[in-house]
Structure 1
């Protein structure tokens, strides 16, 4: 009997593994309840990376506070608890030093959990915030194929690690015709739309090493050939979440004429509130953005819709 693996990848502001795993476990239980099919076997996989960035960011914040003018800056908590954690997580991951540590941990933990996967098994991706970018970067970005990585003391094994990761998934090089197939994608509060800018502005001949589009398109083409239908992708966005962006209208920019390969739907998780007025909306990211950005994990709507999609995947 086939097994449904559900991979949870967290976003910014996650520094304790136990807290993330407990949160993901609760969502996993709600998804199983939503599927409501005792004949199906489910296994959760939780990928935690948040502690790798903690020390560098703490050093940066201490540097801010050491400035004689720090007390003159407005929104200090928002700067250190929201902006630094989001931009800091992004900048640190894109550096090869921290990025390589994330890749190694992914290889050790996620590949270990998928070690017994069979060809008929299914993999469902549930990613939050910057975690979406991290996962897609590991799976699709050409920067991990650069031979110069072999020359660095801290990165000499990274190309092999990335190849090992990609070889486990159907549709990716170096073993595109074998491995477990991704059955559905669920992004929550994701800034992945912003990466269409790399695709739009990249060199049309040489491309960009951070461009996710070519390998993502190749994966979707092989999955479409395998399943004879587009892969379902639900993009959940809270209207008060400043990190969340729609994907439906951006996908043509990423896939360039092959958007029929994916069944993508933007899902708004909240109808808004009294703050929905032009002037007050300017303050929503400061007053409420953090709560909105973390709301997906406990949303019954999100778990229900993920369960509905999983139940419909053959």
Structure 2
């Protein structure tokens, strides 16, 4: 709850400093995606939980803010779904209350053992098409050590050498930046057709090569 309170305080300061910004995109990473889930979507929270006040920014006429998109990177949400009350239909409830559309972009690096795709679970849970969800995969080596290990057939060593850089490298990845830009400008064609990105070429679901 202390973390949620700090995020709420920082967001309040942002809104005061940038009153002209009415469309908001929130980017989260790793365990931060769990925090974001609690802030926006979790049910049965204590009355004094800062999440209630945080959601008012998007679900009341007082602020007139639109949550246009969220980005999750290296997210263990699917893993945590087995251990916590994570029901992705709660996103439907949030968007229906806010009467606005939402784009959710989930990015997974192939060498990131913490990251999970969420598309199938979300399709299973959600009750309507209130929001657009897309998994996007980064299929590239995380570092030179991984590349070298794989070149010599050392798959397990490559996995170990890549893990930390893959999980922490989203912030400096050019493909991630391009995908975020597509979300911000509302480029739905890119978000719904590009699936696997090598850094120099993107393979769509219909590509068999």
Which residue is 1:294 aligned to? 168
CA distance in 1, matches of 2:169, 2:163: 10
8 Å contact from structure 2 (residues 70, 103) kept in 1: yes
CA distance in 1, matches of 2:100, 2:8: 25
Which residue is 1:138 aligned to? 39
Gaps of 5+ in 2: 142-146, 188-209
CA distance in 2, matches of 1:184, 1:137: 16
Which residue is 2:114 aligned to? 243
Say if 1:262 and 1:284 are closer, same or farther in 2 by CA, change over 3 A. Answer: farther
Q: Structure 1 or 2: larger helix share?
A: 1
8 Å contact from structure 1 (residues 117, 180) kept in 2: no
8 Å contact from structure 2 (residues 76, 115) kept in 1: yes
Which residue is 2:105 aligned to? 234
Say if 1:249 and 1:276 are closer, same or farther in 2 by CA, change over 3 A. Answer: farther
CA distance in 1, matches of 2:33, 2:97: 21
Higher relative contact order (CA 8 A, sep 6+): 1
In the TM superposition, residue 275 of structure 1 has moved relative to its aligned partner by 5.5
Which residue is 2:72 aligned to? 187
2:11 to 110, 113, 116: 110
Which residue is 2:93 aligned to? 218
CA distance in 2, matches of 1:106, 1:144: 17
Q: TM-score, normalised by structure 1?
A: 0.50
Which has the greater radius of gyration? 1
In the TM superposition, residue 176 of structure 1 has moved relative to its aligned partner by 7.9
Which residue is 1:60 aligned to? none
Matched, 1:306 2:207: no
In the TM superposition, residue 182 of structure 1 has moved relative to its aligned partner by 0.8
In the TM superposition, residue 233 of structure 1 has moved relative to its aligned partner by 2.0
The total of aligned residue pairs comes to 181
Q: TM-score, normalised by structure 2?
A: 0.72
Question: Could you report, residue by residue, the CA deviation over 1:118-165 in whole angstroms, capped at 9, with x for unpaired residues?
Answer: 6981010111111011111122223523x6xxxxxxxxxx33x33222
8 Å contact from structure 2 (residues 104, 131) kept in 1: yes
In the TM superposition, residue 274 of structure 1 has moved relative to its aligned partner by 6.3
Which residue is 1:82 aligned to? none
The 5-angstrom pairing of residues 1-314 of structure 1 reads 100-115=1-16, 121-145=22-46, 158-159=48-49, 161-170=50-59, 175=60, 179-197=64-82, 210-213=85-88, 215-222=90-97, 225-227=99-101, 231-255=102-126, 257-258=127-128, 260-272=129-141, 273=147, 280-312=154-186
